[in-house]
Amino acid sequence: MLTDIEIAQQAEMKKIREIADEMGLSEDELESYGTYMGKFTDEYLDKVKDRPFGKLILVTAINPTPAGEGKTTITIGLGDALRRAGKKTMIALREPSLGPCFGIKGGAAGGGYSQVVPMEKLNLHFTGDFHAITSANNLLAAALDNHLQQGNQLGIDPKRIILKRCLDMNDRALRNIVIGMGKRVDGVVREDHFIITVATEVMAILCLAEDIFDLEKRLSRILVAYTYDGKPVTAADLKCVGAMTVLLKDAIRPNLIQTLEHTPAIVHGGPFANIAHGCNSVRATKTALRSADYVVTEAGFGADLGAEKFLDIKCRLAGLKPDAAVLVATVRALKYNGGVPKDQLSEENIPALEKGIGNLGKHIENLQKFGLPLVVTLNRFVSDTDAEIEYVRQFCEERGCKLTVSEVWAKGGEGGAELAEAVLDLLQNKESNYHPIYDTELSLEEKIKIIATEIYGAKGVEYSPEAKKALADVTALGYGNLPVCMAKTQYSLSDDPKLLGRPEDFTVNIREAYVSAGAGFVVAIAGSIMTMPGLPKVPAAERIGIDENGVTVGLF
């Protein structure tokens, strides 16, 4: 059996110019990055800005497990299946981060015969967007510390600096550091921190900005620190917003690649859904919606994280209205939620399935609360039995939604035909009544409570004294009417990764909060979630290398 990278390396890709020609783009409407990748130019983005939107289909999933769910694989496979059905279709995805690529998760290009390509370039440096975001963030950090060194005219309190440096890598040793050590000319000694690039506010801003001018305005509002007398200091005060914008002027333009079946795919932006808002860029989604009749997009991790933020933050801020949702699950993941060890998931176990399927049930309820018509799809494994699939089918039907079985990993778009048919039927016969789950005029604590109780199923919320004060300070500064971006573990509906299935009678613990004023939301950090992940004991990086023929191996 071929690995994902072997399948991708054997693919017969079309040149990106051919994909652009099929979309009707002129020579000056796509800038090529090598043979198989490109960026839309401002000429194309301006040309399509008044076109009506196509249908927007959100793909989300149950909480991730070590058994695998395959949300990106389903997203790509559904796009290919819709195109096979004669529909003008595009896919809109996030860019992969090097952190999970070399850590546990691996890449983010899909899998099997449902992938976007070129897989290696996408999973590594791609078009340099993440490097530009890292540079812009760290330029701001350098300007801040230079301001301290050069006399600190703004009166910044070194103990109240909010901005953190970043790196697109899992490196726990950088979470808490001391900088400025050495001679007097080496800077002011202070505690500092690193976060992974995908968790930065610069990433969020790039993903939510409508254009380069909106990007610049948002960058100027980044809150970097407080003065000794408690006044906020912004990026604009440090006078480097123009330079940051220049660093991002190419990165803000969406990227175009293709699937194995040559369906156009826009891949742009990449915030994690457990520590950020978890969606590809607004610009990418709107460009796809103006370029195709059907757009399939995904939101990170489970529906409690990515989908909630897609629906409460991205769609609200960008004026998007999703038309349907696809909820991805696997029999193996549901049995894992029911307490079955990973090495026993291939055995039929209806009692465990019955115990763990509550996780699927909660996500169905949540999407229905947002007013979205949905279909559930099982990403099928060869070990799934007919009895197990039938049990899931009956469970879904009792909750008013159809179950389909997808085999896109093994068969590409052909394996998504049943799902595509169900989605088209949903779009034709059921109207979306999408609405956010809360009103932004509520207090921050009320919004957090609604997310925790309505979406996670918690009995309540508890706050650390630091978080309580931070929310009060943010509200006093005038940011109380912003949406809330929750940061919590992806592995559970709760903030405890060990509570699988559908936990009950638990409390969500908020330990930290801060405002991302430029992005336009307030972040609430729950439980022990980290904004700078660490590598596992045996990182994926150990399997990656170059063989005797100069070919990349081990990347998946």
In 3D space, the residue among 408, 114, 416, 116 whose CA is nearest the CA of residue 267 turns out to be: 116
Q: Distance between alpha carbon 253 and the CA centroid of its chain, in Å? A: 18
CB–CB of 433/371 below 8 Å?
Answer: yes
Instruction: Verify whether residue 288 is a known catalytic residue.
Output: no
108 burial type by CB count under 10 A (0-12 exposed, 13-18 middle, 19+ buried): buried
- 3-class DSSP state of 313: helix
Q: What is the C-alpha separation between 30 and 74, in angstroms, rounded?
A: 27
First to last CA, the chain: 14
Please give the backbone phi and psi of residue 111, each rounded to the nearest 5 degrees, phi first: -160, 160
Neighbours of 537 (CB within 10 A): 4
Of 60, 65, 73, 197, the catalytic one is 73
Length of the chain: 556
Instruction: Verify whether residue 303 is a known catalytic residue.
Output: no
- 3-class DSSP state of 396: helix
Rounded-to-10 torsion of CA 145, 149, 153, 156 = 40
Of 143, 273, 417, 487, the catalytic one is 273
Q: What is the C-alpha separation between 450 and 192, in angstroms, rounded?
A: 33
Of 130, 272, 301, 395, the catalytic one is 301
Q: What is the C-alpha separation between 524 and 509, in angstroms, rounded?
A: 10
In 3D space, the residue among 139, 181, 140 whose CA is nearest the CA of residue 161 turns out to be: 140
Of 39, 40, 65, 71, the catalytic one is 71
Instruction: Verify whether residue 387 is a known catalytic residue.
Output: no
Task: For residue 185, give the amino acid letter.
Answer: V
Strands of the sheet with 223-227, listed across from one edge: 156-161, 223-227, 232-234
Q: What is the C-alpha separation between 348 and 300, in angstroms, rounded?
A: 29
Please give the backbone phi and psi of residue 125, each rounded to the nearest 5 degrees, phi first: -90, -20
Angle between helices 417-429 and 71-84 (to 10 degrees): 80
Instruction: Verify whether residue 489 is a known catalytic residue.
Output: no
Instruction: Verify whether residue 381 is a known catalytic residue.
Output: yes
Q: What is the C-alpha separation between 452 and 494, in angstroms, rounded?
A: 8
Q: What is the C-alpha separation between 12 and 261, in angstroms, rounded?
A: 9
Q: What is the C-alpha separation between 295 and 289, in angstroms, rounded?
A: 6
Of 40, 370, 381, 521, the catalytic one is 381
Q: Mind giving me the DSSP string for 232-295? A: EEETGGGT-HHHHHHHTTTTTSPEEEEETT--EEEE-----TTTS--B--HHHHHHHHTT-SEE
Please give the backbone phi and psi of residue 267, each rounded to the nearest 5 degrees, phi first: -125, 115
The pair of structure tokens assigned to 517 is: 């004023």
The pair of structure tokens assigned to 169 is: 């890598």
The pair of structure tokens assigned to 446 is: 């009320």
The position carrying tokens 């999973």 is 123
Q: What is the C-alpha separation between 313 and 318, in angstroms, rounded?
A: 8
Instruction: Verify whether residue 402 is a known catalytic residue.
Output: no
The pair of structure tokens assigned to 361 is: 């049930």
Of 105, 121, 190, 468, the catalytic one is 105
Task: Name the DSSP letter for residue 279.
Answer: B
Task: Name the DSSP letter for residue 88.
Answer: -
Neighbours of 374 (CB within 10 A): 27
Of 40, 370, 409, 506, the catalytic one is 409
Of 39, 83, 94, 253, the catalytic one is 94
Residues labelled as active-site residues: 71, 73, 94, 105, 273, 301, 381, 409
